[in-house]
Chain A
Amino acid sequence: GDSVTQMEGPVTLSEEAFLTINCTYTATGYPSLFWYVQYPGEGLQLLLKATKADDKGSNKGFEATYRKETTSFHLEKGSVQVSDSAVYFCALGNSWGKLQFGAGTQVVVTP
């Protein structure tokens, strides 16, 4: 079946450092790919998405490119802020809008 694997955390960074979180997937067909973010005590919210191969999703300085050849959707940000501290989930979109999530990566940004 479909699955999503993302790097384990926590990832601890200093402010203004470069962030990358690896995400790979296994799926039949051509799924859509998402990054969701969960701030402390809150629900998940969409960060960005890509719906077909070579698409690049971007939002709030974050980017991820849908790489079909490597079945990957790595998340990157060039200069993180303390406010980016959160848990980041890579997810794959299935039929009927169901989402298959990775385990989540906690990111901690220190001043």
Chain B
Amino acid sequence: NAGVTQTPKFQVLKTGQSMTLQCAQDMNHNSMYWYRQDPGMGLRLIYYSASEGTTDKGEVPNGYNVSRLNKREFSLRLESAAPSQTSVYFCASSPEGRMNTEAFFGQGTRLTVV
């Protein structure tokens, strides 16, 4: 009963390095999301994919790119990491992109940029 799986769980990057955070869900959900969690700010939406083949910017998209590889997978890429991107990143999925639908979250990736 995996749900939403994120890899890696922890990562340390140097400023300027790139990396891709992976996310996969096995619940046949249509919609997927990437959030970042920072102290005192709750979670903020980076990008989302309402359905396979579509992606859209959220509240804080600068410095990130995403790919909805297929219905299961939604990756987040940092092309040139900056210390301001130190955060905990959560991937989530939802059966359908409606405002009353529950989201299911992965366990998070703790990223530190030095």
Instruction: Using CB atoms and an 8 Å cutoff, list the residues of chain A in contact with chain B.
Output: 4, 31-32, 34, 36, 41-46, 49, 51, 89, 93-99, 101-104
Contact = CB atoms under 8 A, between A and B. Distances in A.
Most buried by A among B33, B50, B98, B103: B103
Contacts of B48: 96-98
B44 interface: yes
Contacts of B4: 43
Contact of B42 (A45, A93, A94, A101): A101
Size class of the B contact interface (CB-based, 8 Å)? 20 to 34
- Which of A31, A51, A95, A98: most chain B CB closer than 10 A? A98
Given A43-B4, A98-B45, A93 B105 contact: no
A4 to B, nearest CB: 8
A93 B99 contact: yes
Interface in B51-98: 56, 58, 90, 92, 94, 96-98
B43 A101 contact: yes
Contact of A99 (B40, B45, B50): B45
A103 B41 CA distance: 5
Contacts of B56: 96
Nearest to A96: B97
B42 A104 contact: yes
B90 A97 contact: no
Contacts of B104: 45
A97 B50 contact: yes
Given A44-B90, A95-B97, A97-B48, 16 more contacts: A34-B102, A43-B4, A43-B90, A43-B108, A44-B92, A51-B100, A93-B98, A96-B98, A97-B98, A98-B48, A99-B35, A101-B43, A101-B44, A102-B42, A103-B40, A103-B41
